[in-house]
Amino acid sequence: MILEGKTAVITGGGSGMGRATALLFAKEGADVVISGRTGEKLTDVANEVKDQTGKEIMIAQGDVSVRADAKRLAEETINKFNKIDILINNAGIFRSNEFNDTETDEWNEVMNTNLNGVFYVTKEILPYMLENKGGSIINISSILGMVAVPNTAAYNTSKGGVVLFTKSLAVEYAGRNIRANCICPGLVATPMTKDFMAQKEVMAEIIKDYPMGRFGKAEDIAYPCLFFAADWSSWITGAVLPVDGGYTAK
Ligand SMILES: NC(=O)c1ccc[n+]([C@@H]2O[C@H](COP(=O)([O-])OP(=O)(O)OC[C@H]3O[C@@H](n4cnc5c(N)ncnc54)[C@H](O)[C@@H]3O)[C@@H](O)[C@H]2O)c1
């Protein structure tokens, strides 16, 4: 088991990619902590992990856009496991609106979760990684952090920020054995995209932009997370990996 003895914190662990990553990491022997705002969803994932792997995972309920919650997440994890080896900044929200109709509240809501949330959680966890003389930080951006589409200016900007934040961390902490890498998923079937993907005609158009002819599954993202978390990628930092069936290769 490649993650035996490692402690991994996954934000937004109550559904979608976070859930799939929690399951995979537990199967690979990690001590897993999932955080999110909704206790019920976190409990469901913890029960699923227990059923499938026999492992107990830790739940830390909280909002990544609240600095005090991020601090509590780090402290509760340290109290239980004494160290943090892996952080997956996965929690995120999607909002779509023409820029002309995007008001300050919506802009701030997206930034507070997708960008400030990554800042807060990393701020609280990095000191423990420095103390432990190593760590792997994996940020979930998006293909929309690499290329833009209309009506998603706030989301595009937040995810573009995550890409450069990752590179900043990578160059700043490379000498202290802390790696930071970024995954940019294409369209993946999760609760976030359920309603959007139910629009058959819209999807028939969008699939034409995907050379591999299919959309993603949450597991398609969990495996690259495992790659960046494990020592397999020990000489990789600052990477921005599209996981998108070829969308950004065109
Ligand atoms: N699904 C896609 O097509 C897609 C594509 C590219 C990038 N992404 C990104 O992948 C990540 C995971 O998304 P997903 O598709 O699994 O969606 P999801 O909605 O299933 O999962 C996101 C999780 O984050 C949680 N969350 C949201 N705001 C939070 C907050 N303030 N504090 C704590 N938790 C919060 C949600 O409750 C949810 O459980 C997100 O960052 C998303 O932007 C998704």
Is 197 within a domain? Answer: no
**Does 18 contact ligand 1 (Cβ within 6 A)?**
yes
What is the pLDDT at residue 167? Answer: 98
Q: For residue 12, report the distance from its CA to the centre of ligand 1, in Å.
A: 6
Average pLDDT, integer, range 66-79: 98
Computed over every residue of the chain, the mean pLDDT equals: 98
pTM for the model: 0.98
Q: Per the domain annotation, does 2 fall within a domain? A: no
Range of the domain at 108: 7-189+218-238
Confidence of residue 52 (pLDDT cuts 50, 70, 90): very high
Residue 146 lies in a domain: yes
CA–CA gap between residue 190 and residue 176 (Å, rounded): 35
201 domain residue, yes or no: no
The verdict on residue 200 lying in a domain is no
Specify the pLDDT at position 37: 97
Res 116: pLDDT: 98
Number of domains forming the structure of the chain: 1
CATH number at residue 72: 3.40.50.720
Ligand 1 in reach of 158 Cβ (< 6 A): no
pLDDT the model gives residue 142: 98
Please report whether residue 22 resides in a domain: yes
Has 155 been annotated as catalytic?
yes
Instruction: Confirm whether 196 is domain-assigned.
Output: no
The answer to whether position 207 is within a domain reads: no
Query: What integer pLDDT is reported at residue 101 of this predicted model?
Result: 98
Sign, Cα dihedral of 115, 195, 97, 202: positive
Q: Report whether 242 contacts 221 (CB < 8 A).
A: no
> Residue 13 Cα, ligand 1 centroid: separation in angstroms?
9
Nearest CA-CA partner of 87 in 127, 138, 21, 46: 138
Residues 100-123: pLDDT tens digits?
A: 999 999 999 999 999 999 999 999
129 lines ligand 1 (CB under 6 A): no
Listed in sequence order, the residues at least 6 apart from 66 whose beta carbon sits closer than 8 Å to its beta carbon are 120
The CA 175 to ligand 1 mean position distance, Å, reads: 31
Q: Do 158 and 107 touch, CB atoms closer than 8 A?
A: no
Kindly report the protein residue whose alpha carbon is nearest to atom 8 of ligand 1: 142
Q: Report the SS3 class of residue 24.
A: helix
Question: In sequence order, which residues have a C-beta less than 8 Å from that of residue 110 and are 6 or more positions away?
Answer: 93, 95, 154, 155, 158
For a ligand 1 pocket test, name from 10, 93, 115, 149 the mutation site with the most ligand atoms within 8 angstroms of its C-beta.
Answer: 93
Per the CB < 8 A criterion, the answer to whether 228 and 183 are in contact is yes
Out of 45, 110, 190, mutate this one to test ligand 1's pocket (max ligand atoms within 8 Å of CB): namely 190
